[in-house]
Amino acid sequence: MNVLTDNFSLYGEGLLGTVELTVLASLLALVAGVLMAAFRVAPVGSLRVFGTVWVMVLRNTPLTLLFFAVLLGLPRFGVVLPFKVFAVLALGCYTSAFICEAVRSGINTVPVGQGEAARSLGMTFSQTLGDVVLPQAFRTVIPPVGSTLIALAKNSAIAGSFSVVELLGTYKTLNELGYSIIWTFVWIAVGYLIVTLTISALFNVLEKRWGVPR
Amino acid sequence: MTATTALYDVPGPHSKRRHRLYGAAATVVILAVLAWVGYLLVDTGQFSSRKWTPFAYVGIQKLLLEGLGNTLKAFACAAVLSLVLGAVLAAGRLSDHAPVRWVSTLLVEFFRAMPVLVMIFFVYVALKAEPLYALITGLTLYNGSVLAEVFRAGVHSVDRGQREAAYALGMRKTQVMTYVLVPQAVRAMLPTIISQLVVALKDTSLGFLITYEEFLHAGKLIASNLDYDLPFIPVVMIVSPIYIGMCMLLSWCAYRVAKRQRKSLKTDAVDVNAPEPGTLLPGAQQQR
């Protein structure tokens, strides 16, 4: 028990780091994911190909490999940024592929009449997609996007091994300080449960407020 | 179904020209980015022969192959064990005995909510296990719990009449499960099961973080070799296509199985799809 009380600030810092990573990477993933989903249904062929390749490659890349390549590889091109930014980039891009697939299957659940009606009103592709289809798709993709973001929060643990401050990384310091390693991990586990359960609760609220089963 | 989408009109000559223009512009931008990356690669000397010579040495090739072998070994063990654990936990969750159900539910929910890496580190650091065992344990616990949920969903997805008919024939619960429900459930869930195995394969790379001598670890060893001028980018260029290729192959299997199932005459004869409005994209299937 005193592992937590003695090192409250350390744990707090770690938890804050995890939350920060999760939030920033989620924002990047959501923006990139929706953009890629739009690319994949666009009338322009090269954008469709780009979106497809993006999703196919990133979905099949081990996240550790992506971290390895981004965090240790980009600096060799003279791109020198804080590790946290690299971590957000890697996590966000990786997750965007899954968000893209969720959004695309959400687009498929919108009845075809909606798109046809929008077109018959003379709307362009971006109007049809942005004003008519995506808002309706958004309502059905709340649960899958929620579970994707929970996975993102769990994946952020990898960043700790690449010297980014986050929850799992706290074990090293505590281990050196000689605290009971079992209890250290118990409190780390509790920290992750807090983060994942919060996301899940948040998406339950969103689901209740806006969700439509289709 | 024709290959049209409801999101935009069939382009006329004017729109076609416009789309071609956009397409060309997008291609130019993408190619420009690629060319820039290529320029950076050349500019920072990533293609210098000194950085690529190590890959011609038999010793280095053997190191890489050993790493790949270790990755596949960890994957094979984790895959088999997590299938077993998944079956056990699913059986537990479908049990008639409430305590067994509670315990299995608790385990499944807990292990699904934990990051795999935390479990791996716990086994590695706190229980002081060998890296291979830590990796396999972590992967098994996580993927086993996810697979348990998949199996359970599969059993529930089998038509209720099947279970009732089996009970009516006087089968016991175990018989109903093993002879009737599970074979059909596995068939229905096979694509999902294979997709989960892709996750397991991808996650074997976490072994890198606990210094398990897998593929990425072998790559790191070569990359940090000063004699070859730190060939980091060449290593990434060799390691990632192999990793991504393996995962894509497995994903492709899942896709093929799913496609074959949709086409199967047997399943087609059983449930004919009710007439329904189509989807917005060509060739897309309604979810489940």
Domain CATH number, residue A44: 1.10.3720.10
- Cα-trace Rg, chain A: 20
Percent of chain B topping pLDDT 70: 90
- Residue pair A94/A148 in contact (Cβ under 8 Å)? The answer is no
**What pLDDT digit, counting tens, does each position of A7-23 carry?**
888 888 999 999 999 99
* pLDDT tens track for A36-52: 999 999 888 899 999 99
Quote the CA–CA distance of A50 and B32 in Å, as a whole number: 14
Instruction: Kindly state the percentage of chain A with pLDDT values over 70.
Output: 99
* B81 Cβ contact list (under 8 Å, min separation 6): B136, B140, B144
pLDDT, averaged across chain B: 87
Contact B23 A46 (CB under 8 A): yes
Give CA separation, B80 vs A148, B87, B140, B198, in Å: 25, 11, 9, 13
Indicate the residue of B7, B117, B244 with minimum beta-carbon distance to A158: B117
Quick one: pLDDT at residue B3? 46
Integer distance in angstroms from the first to the last C-alpha of chain A? 47
Mutate to test the interface with A, among B1, B8, B195 (most CBs of A within 10 A): B8
Which of B209, B247, B284 lies nearest to residue A108, judging by beta carbons?
B284
Q: Which residues contact A31 (CB under 8 A, 6 or more apart)?
A: A96
In the predicted model, what is the mean pLDDT of residues A90-103? 95
Residue recorded with tokens 């999101």: B7
Among A50-64, A155-169, B91-105, the least confident range: A155-169
Q: B284 pLDDT exceeds 60?
A: no
What is the number of domains present in chain A? 1
Is the Cβ–Cβ distance between A65 and B240 less than 8 Å?
yes
Assign B198 to helix, strand or coil: helix
What pLDDT shows up at residue B202? 94
Distance CA A214, CA B68 (A): 44
Closest alpha carbon to B54 in B258, B209, B226, B249: B226
Residue B276 has pLDDT above 70, yes or no: no
- Interface ipTM > 0.95: no
Interval A69-94: pLDDT, tens? 988 888 887 778 888 999 999 999 99
The reported pLDDT for the residue numbered B2 is 39
Domain ranges of chain B: 52-258
Greatest C-alpha distance within chain B: 76
pLDDT tens for B175-210 read 999 999 999 998 889 999 999 999 999 999 999 999
Which CATH fold would you assign to the domain B52-258? MetI-like fold (1.10.3720)
Domain with A117 in it: 2-210
Question: What are B94's two structure tokens?
Answer: 């479908």
| Contact state of A62 with B22 under an 8 Å Cβ cutoff | no
Whether residues A62 and B19 touch (CB distance < 8 A) is answered with no
Please name the residues between 95 and 154 in chain B that touch chain A, using a CB distance below 8 Å. 113-118, 121-122, 125-126
pLDDT digits (tens, 9 = 90+) for A149-184: 999 999 999 988 887 888 888 888 888 888 888 888
Q: Average pLDDT, stretch A116-135? A: 91
Question: Contact at 8 Å (CB) between B115 and B171?
Answer: no
